Amino acid sequence: MTELPVTWNRTFKVWWLLLWRSLTLSVLGGGLFGAFVGVIGGLMGMPQESITGFAQVTGFIVGNVVFLLIVKTAFRKRFKGFRLAMVADEVTPAESAPPPQTGSSPW
């Protein structure tokens, strides 16, 4: 695997992917879910202040979950000439070895 330099062109492509997908999917998904919660709360006779707060919180949570999924899918996306990847730091064999067992329980 060849590590490519971080250029403005590549940075812009990743930024644009995250921006347009988050604006459309997170905002729409969170907003629609918040509106749905608001309508259900209204039909259940909840006070307006409670509905507003609950709809905002649930919309925020759904929007962030959707954004997390967007970030995860960005790692599967193949851009023109590159893709994102998580690469482990180089470690020495001593650092990657498990700690020695002493045979006694810490409990």
What are the pLDDT digits (tens) for 9-41?
A: 999 999 999 999 888 887 787 778 878 888 888
Distances (CA, A) of 27 to 39, 67, 77, 92: 18, 9, 21, 44
Range of the domain at 50: 19-79
- For residue 102, tell me if it sits in a domain: no
- For residue 97, tell me if it sits in a domain: no
Which pLDDT band holds residue 8 (cuts at 50, 70, 90)? very high
Q: 82 or 1: which carries more pLDDT confidence? A: 82
Report how far residue 72's alpha carbon sits from residue 80's, in angstroms, rounded to the nearest whole number.
18
Which pLDDT band holds residue 46 (cuts at 50, 70, 90)? confident
- Evaluate whether 67 touches 20 at the Cβ level (below 8 Å): no
Alpha helices in the chain (DSSP H): 8-21, 27-43, 48-74, 93-96
Average pLDDT score over residue span 66-92: 86
- For residue 2, tell me if it sits in a domain: no
Look at the chain and report how many structural domains it folds into. Answer: 1
Please determine, for residue 1, whether its predicted confidence score (pLDDT) is greater than 80.
Answer: no
